[in-house]
Amino acid sequence: MTKRSATILVRVPGRANKTDALRVGLVPLTSEWGGGVFQYSQTMLSVLADLREVRDEEFVLLADGLSDADPLLNGASWEIAALNPPSPTSRILPHVKNIARSRLPSRLREHLSPLALRLERRGEVPSEPGPHRRPDVRSWFEGLGIDLVLYPASMPLSFEAGTPYVLAVHDLQHRLQPEFPEVSAGQEFALREYVFRNGIREATVVLTDSEVGREDVLNLYGDLIAPERVAVLPFLPAVADLVSLDDRERVSRKYRLPERFLFYPAQMWPHKNHLRLVEALAELERSDGIEIEIVLIGSKSGEIRERTHAELLSRVRALGLQDRVHYFGYVPAGDVGALYAEAVALVMPTFFGPTNIPVLEAWALNCPVVTSDIRGVREQVGDAALLADPRSVGAIADAIRKVWLDAELRDELIRRGRSRLSLYTREDYSQRLSEILDQAGELVRGARERAHV
């Protein structure tokens, strides 16, 4: 294998390739602060590290500051090239102010929030401006010999660079639930529309985490992409399915964990619904005399999350729960598995789906699950979780009461969770990802042949 660019940091001898083998770039999220998208990137890289042994593609990791020792890489060796194109955000913002208006498909209305319905009736769902083009980045990719790029998260770089790509679309909640400021405040709605409409329209293949996610893409943007180019690649749990007793004891000492507690790993976004969760704990104390402690982890950085965290602390004080609500902020990935394993249950009353990685992690670590009775989540969990209306404090309290008091129910939920987790394995993920690479490769080669006719 010859060196393509001076930016290459690591070179790994490849297997003998066919003459038409593609050179595939990957742009992972490299910070653990990225939560689920970081875990998604880590899973994809881990599986691709194995697939390299049996596939013909050459893979290049496009990321800054990585080495073989980085935990993202799980100990695998990669060819790595620095990814350092300038941020396009400053050029997008002036452009999105003058956006056209469009109407949502009528078939989607049954799934919309009240605010989204009002916006739809008024015709106030914006469509995006046309994409900026970045020939400098495209030339840079060409210099590296990149034929196709995998993006585990939606980003403007995908379509602005103009190199064929596979794009993961994890949720479209800015269209479904725009009442949440984290997906709509300020320029956020218009920026998301810019990213998703252009990203989906120009993608070689779009990845979703579920059939519900695929349905959302086709309902909202089906005029931009053919159904056969939207593929489903479900999540895998990012934690190991075994946590040692030593690790559990270490984490218990480190955080001074209560003897019994509920667990909720979630950044301090409004849609994560922390306020109703602590209201439910207060209701259980008032109605049943049950005093329950809970451990919360997740980032509170940024204006919206800081405000949400402040509102939560204020409400906790007003409810007299200061000694029972434990917030640890960001927790290293190596400690999270033990928190699941030590918890009585995961309680996740989120408003967003369509699927959520913490549910899978809880199942993998024998932790019962209480989560939201909403579209997407219902399909994800089946009968392997207690479901509660996330808008109802009483419903959340009822589900918590059941899982807290009933050991047999907890054992049954653990059994069902493990059973459901076994329906989709690492081997299944690997097979699907391999098929997606085959499909994308055929489309890239076909486009190349047509361009030369």
Residues 265 and 145 in one domain: no
- Name 258's Cβ contacts closer than 8 Å, sequence gap at least 6: 293, 295, 326
User: Based on the domain organization, do 210 and 126 belong to the same domain?
Assistant: yes
CA dihedral 237, 239, 244, 249 (to 10 degrees): -120
Residue at 295 is within a domain: yes
Chain-centre distance of CA 15, in angstroms?
32
Please tell me the predicted confidence (pLDDT) of residue 32. 63
Does 205 lie in the same domain as 298? no
274 within 8 A of 304, measured Cβ to Cβ: no
Phi, psi of 438 (to 5 degrees): -60, -45
User: Is residue 118 included in any domain, yes or no?
Assistant: yes
Nearest residue to 182 via CA among 30, 318, 299, 328: 299
Domain count, the chain: 2
Together in a domain, 45 and 77: yes
> Coil, strand, or helix at residue 54?
coil
27 and 114, same domain (yes or no): yes
Q: Which residues contact 106 (CB under 8 A, 6 or more apart)?
A: none
Q: How many CA atoms lie within 13 A of 68 on its CB side?
A: 10
Same domain, 254 and 216: no
Question: Which pair of tokens denotes residue 358?
Answer: 């913490």
| C-alpha 252: how far from chain center | 28
d(CA 253, CA 355): 32
Per-residue confidence (pLDDT) for residue 34, from 0 to 100: 62
* Residues 296 and 218 grouped into a single domain: no
Distance from C-alpha of 205 to C-alpha of 439, rounded to nearest angstrom: 8
Q: What is the C-alpha separation between 399 and 345, in angstroms, rounded?
A: 11
pLDDT tens series, the chain, 453 aa: 333 332 333 333 333 344 578 999 998 877 665 667 778 888 888 899 889 888 989 999 888 776 655 666 766 778 888 776 544 443 444 344 433 334 444 444 444 445 444 444 444 455 556 778 888 888 888 888 999 999 998 989 999 998 999 999 998 999 999 999 999 998 899 889 999 999 999 999 999 999 999 999 999 999 999 999 999 999 988 766 678 999 999 999 999 999 999 999 999 999 999 999 999 999 999 999 999 999 999 989 899 999 999 999 999 999 999 999 999 998 988 899 999 999 999 999 999 999 899 999 999 999 999 999 999 999 999 999 999 999 999 999 999 999 999 999 999 999 999 999 999 999 999 999 999 999 999 999 988 888 776
Among the listed residues 236, 176, 189, 159, the one whose alpha carbon sits nearest the alpha carbon of residue 430:
236
Strands 325-327 and 294-297: parallel
Range of the domain at 307: 245-421
| 121 and 254 inside one domain | no
* Domain assignment present for 1: no
314 and 432 fall within a common domain: no
Q: Are residues 186 and 260 in the same domain?
A: no
Residues 274 and 404 in one domain: yes
Q: What letter would DSSP give residue 227?
A: G
Q: What pTM was estimated for this model as a whole?
A: 0.83
Please name which of 258, 186, 179, 171 lies closest in space to residue 217, comparing C-alpha atoms: 171
On whether residue 104 sits in a domain, the answer given is yes
Residues with Cβ within 8 Å of 275's Cβ and at least 6 positions away in sequence, in order, are: 311, 312, 315
CATH number at residue 371: 3.40.50.2000
The answer to whether position 333 is within a domain reads: yes
Residues 176 and 228 placed together within one structural domain of the fold: yes
In a domain? residue 3 = no
Look at residue 76 and tell me if it is in a domain.
yes
> Within a domain: residue 116?
yes
Cα gap 420→385, rounded to integer Å = 10
Judged by DSSP in three states, 369 sits in: strand
